[in-house]
Amino acid sequence: MTEEPDAGLARGLAELRAALGERRVLAPDDPAAGFVRDERGLLPSRPAAVLRPRSTEEVAAAVRICARHRVPVVPFAGGTGLVGGAVPLGTGRQVVLSVRGLDRIRSVDPADFALTAEAGCVLSDVQGAAEAAGLYFPLRLASEGSARLGGAVATNAGGSNVLRYGTTRELVLGLEAVLPDGRIWHGLRSLRKDNTGYDLKQLLIGSEGTLGVVTAATVRLAPYPRHRAVALLALPGLAELTGLLALAREVLADRLSALELFSRTGMELLVRQLAARDPFADPHPRYLLVEATSTRDPAALAAQLDELLAGAVERGLAADAVPALDRPQAQALWALREGLPEAEKRAGGAVKHDVGVALGSVADLVAAAEEWIARDFPGTVVNAFGHVGDGNVHVNVLGAGERAAAVSALLYRLVADRHGTVSAEHGIGVLKRDALEYTRGPLERELLRTVKRALDPLGIMNPGKLLP
Ligand SMILES: Cc1cc2nc3c(=O)[nH]c(=O)nc-3n(C[C@H](O)[C@H](O)[C@H](O)COP(=O)(O)OP(=O)(O)OC[C@H]3O[C@@H](n4cnc5c(N)ncnc54)[C@H](O)[C@@H]3O)c2cc1C
């Protein structure tokens, strides 16, 4: 016998209160539930309740009850996601399950270069735990002080170190998760090699809460890169970008950890909105931030970076270059790149995009986007910047107003023409859901739905996210 939907919800909530305790099932108007909202303020958030389990077993009990009463579950971690994935949809029938109470670092194993932590651990705390053991957790995001491990796994977070260490996919060795029927999958292995069939953890990584609740992860650690060399190069134009990226890889090889592009538009925004200091005497069309790191021999590292700067200027790939001579200068150069989202916000906000193409197509995509958007949408300003070493660019557009959807459609067509992706690292959530079809064809979308149906036949895990 099936229940009336709202009777099911009421019964489910009563059972959840009995299983977790009253204080762990917050009513939506409870001030303590206020953290469940869309950071960007683009979506309303009306949960039926906010669940706050403290252990994997409590998560499993809660999901089992929700499955029994067909109550949709929205996993929630740091709430820093940029595509509305952690926001409950509709008018108050979905419960939010916060994993913030699962916040223990379970183990750090230096011999194995591995760390196991629960989903609610703040990323900067995971980094700190690795550092305390003399090791390095390479996931670095501007949101690392608030984003949690579970959210990073669920969104396959990228960040500024992907070039050297890969995305979260490459960093996760094992997972523990609660499946949509409430069973616990114990997959916390720290194997580097395991060829025993489908890689189940990879299905959950980047699934944005649609296939289960990640409760803990074992992640790969690296030797601590104690030495850092940073420089900002000024480019004569976009035409030089591909050559410069190749030269940086050749000279710095596996010490190269970041290549971040921004434009004159970005520099002007920084100067105007954040009173930043332009390190160059003259204006330049583009800037490339380069970072290399090493575990030893800082002099050799600095010499390698100098070789890159000299080579770039000599070959005409850079018009000028500023190396950071000490840590504060390195931080000041990084602050330029990291200040861009805030500068956009202060300038009135932007339509944000997070697209990706093959390395050799980045310059072409940015040039085409700037040209077409200026022509078709007069009065807008394109601020293109991002992790260009990974082919990932944020082609953000200021001043689009009501034309936001049309601007995005034009950009996504340009990306699709170049066999790119409409979301290189932020995910799909609800805000990018309609964009998925630009770069994922009918067969791929059908396969995605097949996976979803196989793992979540009742469709209770974060419905309405990722898949239309
Ligand atoms: C200033 C700023 C800078 C950022 N920079 C980057 C960047 O450089 N690179 C990048 O990739 N992202 C970036 N982001 C986006 C965001 O920080 C990351 O995606 C982050 O990993 C999200 O983690 P969270 O804990 O906040 O997740 P949330 O926002 O809470 O959730 C994100 C998604 O994951 C799901 N989810 C959360 N926890 C779980 C769980 N335990 N199990 C299953 N599903 C779960 C949610 O349902 C939702 O769909 C940035 C965001 C901000 C605000």
Which residue in the block uniquely carries the two structure tokens 């090699």?
Answer: 193
Task: Classify residue 119: in a domain, yes or no.
Answer: yes
Report the candidate in 182, 192, 54, 102 with the shortest Cα–Cα distance to residue 455. 182
**HSE-CB of 420 using CA atoms within 13 angstroms:** 30
Last residue of a domain, one of 223, 243, 263: 223
In the chain, the number of structural domains is 4
Give exposure, 165-186, as e/b (b: 16+ Cβ within 10 Å).
Answer: bebbeebbbbbbbbbbbbebbe
In the reported structure, the alpha carbon of residue 157 is separated from the centroid of ligand 1 by a whole-number distance in angstroms of 7
Q: What is the mean pLDDT of residues 427-445?
A: 95
Task: Classify residue 154: in a domain, yes or no.
Answer: yes
Task: Indicate if ligand 1 lies below 6 Å from the C-beta of 209.
Answer: yes
Same-domain pairing of 336 and 380: no
In the reported structure, the alpha carbon of residue 311 is separated from the centroid of ligand 1 by a whole-number distance in angstroms of 39
Same-domain pairing of 183 and 242: no
Task: Indicate if ligand 1 lies below 6 Å from the C-beta of 155.
Answer: yes
Using the atom order of ligand 1, give the atom closest to the CA of residue 214. Answer: 42
CATH of the domain at 293: 3.30.70.2190
Tokens of 97: 């399950």
In the reported structure, the alpha carbon of residue 195 is separated from the centroid of ligand 1 by a whole-number distance in angstroms of 29
Provide the pairing of β-strand 95-98 with 73-76.
Answer: parallel
Task: Classify residue 195: in a domain, yes or no.
Answer: yes
Domain assignment of residue 359, given as a range: 350-426
Q: What is the mean pLDDT of residues 362-377?
A: 97
Same-domain pairing of 244 and 218: no
Q: What are phi and psi of 305, to 5 degrees?
A: -65, -40
In the reported structure, the alpha carbon of residue 315 is separated from the centroid of ligand 1 by a whole-number distance in angstroms of 40
14-43 pLDDT, tens digit per residue, is 999 999 999 999 998 888 887 887 777 788
pLDDT at 267: 98
Q: Identify the band that residue 4 occupies on the pLDDT scale cut at 50, 70 and 90.
A: low
Task: Indicate if ligand 1 lies below 6 Å from the C-beta of 387.
Answer: no
Last residue of a domain, one of 223, 246, 280: 223
Task: Classify residue 152: in a domain, yes or no.
Answer: yes
Question: Hey, is 15 helix, strand or coil?
Answer: helix
Looking at the chain, how many residues does it have? Answer: 468
Last residue of a domain, one of 101, 121, 148: 101
Using the atom order of ligand 1, give the atom closest to the CA of residue 39. Answer: 53
130-157 pLDDT, tens digit per residue, is 999 999 999 999 899 999 999 999 999 9
Q: What is the mean pLDDT of residues 356-383?
A: 97
Where are the strands (E) in 135-224, listed by range? 135-136, 172-178, 184-187, 213-220, 222-223
290-310 pLDDT, tens digit per residue, is 999 999 999 999 999 999 999
In the reported structure, the alpha carbon of residue 462 is separated from the centroid of ligand 1 by a whole-number distance in angstroms of 14
Residue 275 has pLDDT above 60, yes or no: yes
> Which distant-in-sequence residues (6+ apart) come within 8 Å of 412 by Cβ?
355, 422, 435, 438, 439
List the strands of the sheet with 286-294, edge to edge: 256-263, 286-294, 227-235, 320-323
Q: What is the mean pLDDT of residues 400-422?
A: 97
